[in-house]
Amino acid sequence: MFATEDDAGEPTRDEIDRLDGPVVLEFGASWCPHCRALAPQLARLLKDRPDVRHIKVEDGPGRRLGRSFRVKLWPNLVFLNDGQVARQLARPDISEVRDALALIAGPNPRSESP
């Protein structure tokens, strides 16, 4: 479920920039078919990454936080480490998400060896 549609439920850019550690900021909409398709796959990856904070933000025209990250397509994932953008992906496939998670948090210690 995405954060509420009013700005009161949305973190500010300043709050996001001050976050410590690895964070995945997910922009999308509850009705978006692309967001719905990615959701279970992303949830499975994040289940094995308790060290990564996941923040879902309902996005749309005029939404300040989404505009500050130049979000145009959903889902749009912003991978941050200590408030700094490491990678941003629009409509990613799951392998891109896996690689970006490794970039901000290191290899998944629970994943099987190839």
CATH number for the domain spanning 44: value is 3.40.30.10
User: Does residue 111 fall inside a structural domain?
Assistant: no
User: Does residue 112 fall inside a structural domain?
Assistant: no
- Range of lowest pLDDT (9-13, 15-19, 56-60): 9-13
| Residue whose pair of structure tokens reads 């973190």 in the numeric block | 11
Q: How confident is the model at residue 4, as a pLDDT?
A: 41
- For the chain, what is the domain count? 1
Domain that holds residue 16: 7-105
Look at 7 and 23; give whichever has higher pLDDT: 23
User: Does residue 1 fall inside a structural domain?
Assistant: no
User: Does residue 53 fall inside a structural domain?
Assistant: yes
Is the model's pLDDT at 63 over the cut of 80? yes
Count how many Cα atoms sit within 13 Å of the Cα of residue 94 in the half-sphere of its side chain.
Answer: 10
Average pLDDT, the chain: 90
User: Does residue 2 fall inside a structural domain?
Assistant: no
User: Does residue 88 fall inside a structural domain?
Assistant: yes
Alpha helices in 1-114 (DSSP H): 13-17, 33-47, 64-68, 94-105
Mean pLDDT to the nearest integer, 90-106: 97
User: Does residue 114 fall inside a structural domain?
Assistant: no
User: Does residue 36 fall inside a structural domain?
Assistant: yes
